[in-house]
Structure 1
Amino acid sequence: MLSEYAVEPAAIGADWRTFKDLIDRFGTDKGRLISRFPTNWEKKVIQAAKAAGVPDVRMSSIVERLRFSKHKVVDFNRAYDYAADWINNALREHASRPFKAIICDAGKPACAETMEPDDCSDTHALFGAPTSRDVTRTAHQIADALHTITAVSKEVDIVDPYFDLRPRKGNYLATLVSLLARLAGEPGQTKAIRIHFRDHDTRPSAEILARDGSTQVTGLLPPGYSIELYAWSEKHGGEDFHDRYVLTDLGGIMIGAGLSADGPGESTAFTLLNFGHAQKLRSRFSDGSTVYTRAGSAVRIRDSGSAELF
């Protein structure tokens, strides 16, 4: 549901209005992410603005906006040759792992997916980005829809009140396995995937969950990954625990019917969330939450297969 764009630092930084218009069109909630390409992309934008003589008051605004754009400019682990210029780097990377589009100034060596900043409108075929769609309820399709946001985020919270690793309670395990297989191909990533579900008296104890969960995911977790399982109960008179989400430090997705892979005959709506709203929802499932109450111990399963309660 998210598309990666290569944006030339000079093309966005040399003019204040261009910068303002473009940066506001990106973000997880917009369906578009700027590739941090090169890794000092923000610094390159500031350098381009200074070189173009952008006034100090506008420079301050550019610096401030970049500081609050961490959910818009994201590291996709792209290789960059500093001995070559930006456009040739972009074209080389695009040939091996395509961007949705390359946004650069006019007159640069081009490919079919090259755009100029003035072309960046929602009606342009390369820039259009739907923020909601139906996803077929197979493990493959659900994992595909979640791959980008979970791969580029440092923190991932999967929220589904009915999430259960027991096969008779829905096919959640297949979705998790399919997603982990995709994440295993992302180099240099380490993270905890936190799974939040609703407590119920038919749920197994944390001790049993640790034992069985470890058996089910051993060998599936990429190096450096762990899974954390949290049970939550509703507060009397408080919020219902019903909605399903995948929430991250970059944003989130609301999921209509849930994450169980119930078959190709069904679909569920995936909708991108406003960044601030996603962070507010994440706080419901964090230490000190005033919305829900942690039920018992949480379970952590490491890539080695070991499990612990905490």
Structure 2
Amino acid sequence: MLHLEFAVSPEQICSVADLSLLEARLGFDKGAFLSRFPKQWFREVSERLESNLQPGQLDRATERLRQIQRSRLVAFGRPYEGVDWANAARYSHAIVPFHRAVDNTFNELPTLVTSINELDDADFIFETQFPRDASSLAQAGKALLIDAEKVILHDNFICLTKAGYKKTLLEMMRFCTKAEVEFHFFSEEDGKSDWGLRKQALIEFSGRMPVNIRLFWYRSDDGGSGFLHQRGMFTAKGGLIYDRGFEEPNDHAQRATLTPISPMPAGMLVSNAKSYNTAQQSDDFKLVGQIWRSHD
């Protein structure tokens, strides 16, 4: 997984300044997110702030907290077992390690940290090189996929007549936990095989997808501008740039060769959300033919 998982005890959050620090340090564009641990993390922090802050401060704090909830908080379904947050965090960490866990009773650097104010730049170094096997390519985006309701992928070469793409996409879909998740694929039409063959491949592929997934396929043409040549995946919370796309190579040596995958900058996420707007035609490319849907 590219993104780093930080668990922060609700007792660490006492002020607007604490929330501002989390907001500044964490974000999918920064390669880090906040673990929803426990599930009631937002509620517990909200109640703590309500009891500690004056009304004017509370309004500011509530807005910051909601922004963190919308864009930085992810639930990984971790067990919460213990008499308090610190014990529960230690138990969960022993099963699947956090990148960093923060509580005022911890002092086991670099992983178990006493205060959010003690986190420095070295704690936020994330991996950007991944093998090109399907599992690794999908795993890089796990933190974005797990809570997603809509996933958009753009890759000018993507084609489901090729087994290497199908393997990666199925791996990505298996990370999605919501009851219904839409996958929207944008592929360049130029240079592709007959649409009838590709359509049949889509039909066969949709029969292998998890039951909670709905697939939408867009055949696109950028008129030679090169706009469609960037390859990436994004959701409402953030995105990733896949330097060499989503295909698992047939050659095992090529699978082992590392490829860059990096966080999508916040400005690019906004720009891509506008360009790949599934509700209206983009100014950056045109659609060829009708949108293919796996469900009516």
Q: CA deviation at 1:158?
A: 1.0
Q: CA deviation at 1:253?
A: 0.9
Q: Percent identity?
A: 20
Q: CA deviation at 1:40?
A: 3.2
Contact 1:3 1:100 in 2 (8 A): yes
Q: CA deviation at 1:102?
A: 1.3
Q: CA deviation at 1:104?
A: 1.4
Q: CA deviation at 1:226?
A: 2.2
Contact 2:5 2:33 in 1 (8 A): yes
Structure 2 counterparts to residues 5-44 of structure 1, below 5 A: 5-12=6-13, 14-44=14-44
Q: Which runs of 5+ in 2 are unaligned?
A: none
Letter of the 1:171 counterpart: G
In the alignment, structure 1 residue 273 sits paired with structure 2 residue 264: yes
| More strand per residue | 1
In the alignment, structure 1 residue 195 sits paired with structure 2 residue 190: no
Match of 1:160 in 2: 155
Cα separation, 2, equivalents of 1:112 and 1:273: 27
Query: What's the TM-score once normalised by structure 1's chain length?
Result: 0.81
**Cα gap change, 1:201/1:273 in structure 2, threshold over 3 Å: closer, same or farther?**
closer
In the alignment, structure 1 residue 215 sits paired with structure 2 residue 204: yes
| More helix per residue | 2
Q: Which runs of 5+ in 1 are unaligned?
A: 303-307
Match of 2:215 in 1: 227
Cα separation, 1, equivalents of 2:124 and 2:216: 36
Letter of the 2:230 counterpart: D
Contact 2:19 2:65 in 1 (8 A): no
Letter of the 2:85 counterpart: W
The SS at the match of 1:229 is strand
**Cα gap change, 1:109/1:138 in structure 2, threshold over 3 Å: closer, same or farther?**
closer
The SS at the match of 1:163 is coil
Q: CA deviation at 1:154?
A: 2.4
In the alignment, structure 1 residue 103 sits paired with structure 2 residue 92: no
Query: What's the TM-score once normalised by structure 2's chain length?
Result: 0.84
Cα separation, 2, equivalents of 1:17 and 1:100: 23
Q: CA deviation at 1:251?
A: 0.6
- How many positions carry a matched residue from both structures? 287
Q: CA deviation at 1:97?
A: 2.8
Match of 1:88 in 2: 87
Q: 1:249-276 CA distances to partner (integer Å, 9 max, x unpaired)? A: 1111112222222223644321101234
Contact 1:194 1:230 in 2 (8 A): yes
Q: CA deviation at 1:78?
A: 3.2
Match of 1:259 in 2: 246
Q: CA deviation at 1:159?
A: 0.7
Contact 1:235 1:291 in 2 (8 A): no
Q: CA deviation at 1:108?
A: 5.6
**Cα gap change, 1:261/1:201 in structure 2, threshold over 3 Å: closer, same or farther?**
closer
Contact 2:219 2:288 in 1 (8 A): yes
Cα separation, 2, equivalents of 1:265 and 1:102: 32
Structure 2 counterparts to residues 289-308 of structure 1, below 5 A: 289-301=282-294
